[in-house]
């Protein structure tokens, strides 16, 4: 082998080694950033935590794979394993998949168990993708007792939905951005005018006299820019994260005043994943239905390629979740969230 060819080979080896070490360095720095971001979980780092941790892990594994090819060191398998462990321990999806690979919510819900004084209550939540009545109608197939609609159809179209349900007990409140459709008597709550586009609340009185405080929520939309090298992008994500938290904090403050000690359910499109610091402000009494009991992939956005769970339903201890599923839709850009709860009949209140 002549010296010229040997120098060329050595040059290629040197470049490969440089690329390998750079890839390892990038992966290590990224891993440290991800671990810090998801543990510290602040508004300043919301641009990082808005992405699922498994996606960051996939990027980190890509760099490690390059490093392994270029450096050919077995020691790098430890870095590979560290990323795998991060994805397994940190991914929201892993928890629900361990309960079951396939969602178990059926179109026909569990019947009321009168003998044990327990009633099954089904809640559906769906973003109607620009006020599409077709999206709202998709929830009817699952026979819900309560429907939370975000980007709700107009009042006129809501009346069409009511007529299709052929149930004289159906009532509706809302009709702008958020609406509630329910079987029973709905007593509308008057939230502050600043929440006109973000929430609709009502007290639901069931046929058996039980009352439940309902709140349908649609928080400030997410930022769509991803130029991570631009500090203004980070600031914009931080600002939007703070706005959503302030909205939710003020909403729940009024919600608690209305709710007193009765059973409570609130939910909708929070535009924030479950690991977001937005939910740190919630009282420990509230339980996320899908996080508690859901099976399969719970991600709700986007409908056709669900990578993140931003639609949620919460309840207090008076309503225990027994099943929850994310359901693919046809007319929405979100998947529909269906949750079943049990409500003990002792939770009654006489309405004057």
Tens of pLDDT, residue by residue over 247-263, are 999 999 999 999 888 99
Structure tokens at 50: 């808005």
Residues 130 and 334: beta-carbon distance below 8 Å: no
Residue 112 has a pLDDT of 45
Number of Cβ atoms within 10 Å of the Cβ of 97: 16
Structure tokens at 185: 């008597």
Backbone angles phi, psi at 27, to 5 degrees: -65, -40
- What are the CA-CA distances from residue 212 to residues 96, 182, 203, 260, 293 (Å)? 27, 11, 6, 10, 21
Question: What are the E-state strand segments in 151-239?
Answer: 170-174, 178-183, 185-189, 199-205, 211-218
Residue 288 has a pLDDT of 97
Mark residue 166 as left, alpha or beta (left: phi above 0; alpha: psi -120 to 50; beta: remaining): left
Residue 350 has a pLDDT of 37
Question: Residues in the chain with pLDDT < 70?
Answer: 1-2, 109-118, 344-352
Task: Return the bridge partners of 202, or none.
Answer: 188, 214
Residue 109 has a pLDDT of 62
Backbone angles phi, psi at 229, to 5 degrees: -80, -10
Architecture of the domain made up of 102-344: 4-Layer Sandwich (3.60)
């Amino acid at each position: 082998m002549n010296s010229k060819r040997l120098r060329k080979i050595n040059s290629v080896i040197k470049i490969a080694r440089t690329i390998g070490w750079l890839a390892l360095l990038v992966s290590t720095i990224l891993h440290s950033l991800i671990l810090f971001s998801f543990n510290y979980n602040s508004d300043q780092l919301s641009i990082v935590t808005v992405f699922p941790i498994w996606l960051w892990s996939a990027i980190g594994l890509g760099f490690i794979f390059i490093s392994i090819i270029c450096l050919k060191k077995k020691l790098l398998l430890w870095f590979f394993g560290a990323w795998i462990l991060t994805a397994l321990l940190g991914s929201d999806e892993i928890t629900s998949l361990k309960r079951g690979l396939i969602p178990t919510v059926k179109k026909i819900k569990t019947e009321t168990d009168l003998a044990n004084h327990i009633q099954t209550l089904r809640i559906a939540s769906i973003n109607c993708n620009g006020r599409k009545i077709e999206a709202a109608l998709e929830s009817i197939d699952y026979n819900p007792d309560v429907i939370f609609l975000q980007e709700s159809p107009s009042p006129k179209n809501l009346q069409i939905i009511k007529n299709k349900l052929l149930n004289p007990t159906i009532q509706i409140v809302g009709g702008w951005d958020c609406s509630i459709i329910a079987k029973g008597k709905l007593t509308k709550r008057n939230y502050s005018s600043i929440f006109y586009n973000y929430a609709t609340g009502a007290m639901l009185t069931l046929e058996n006299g039980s009352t439940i405080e309902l709140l349908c929520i649609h928080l400030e939309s997410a930022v769509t820019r991803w130029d991570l090298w631009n500090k203004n992008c980070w600031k914009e994500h931080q600002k939007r994260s703070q706005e959503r938290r302030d909205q939710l904090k003020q909403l729940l403050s009024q919600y608690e005043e209305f709710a007193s000690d009765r059973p409570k359910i609130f939910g909708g499109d929070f535009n924030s994943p479950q690991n977001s610091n937005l939910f740190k402000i919630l009282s420990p009494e509230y339980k996320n239905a899908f996080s508690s009991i859901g099976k399969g992939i719970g991600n709700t956005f986007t409908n056709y390629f669900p990578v993140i769970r931003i639609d949620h339903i919460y309840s207090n201890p008076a309503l225990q979740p027994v099943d929850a599923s994310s359901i693919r839709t046809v007319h929405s850009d979100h998947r529909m969230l269906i949750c079943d709860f049990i409500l003990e009949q002792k939770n009654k209140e006489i309405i004057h």
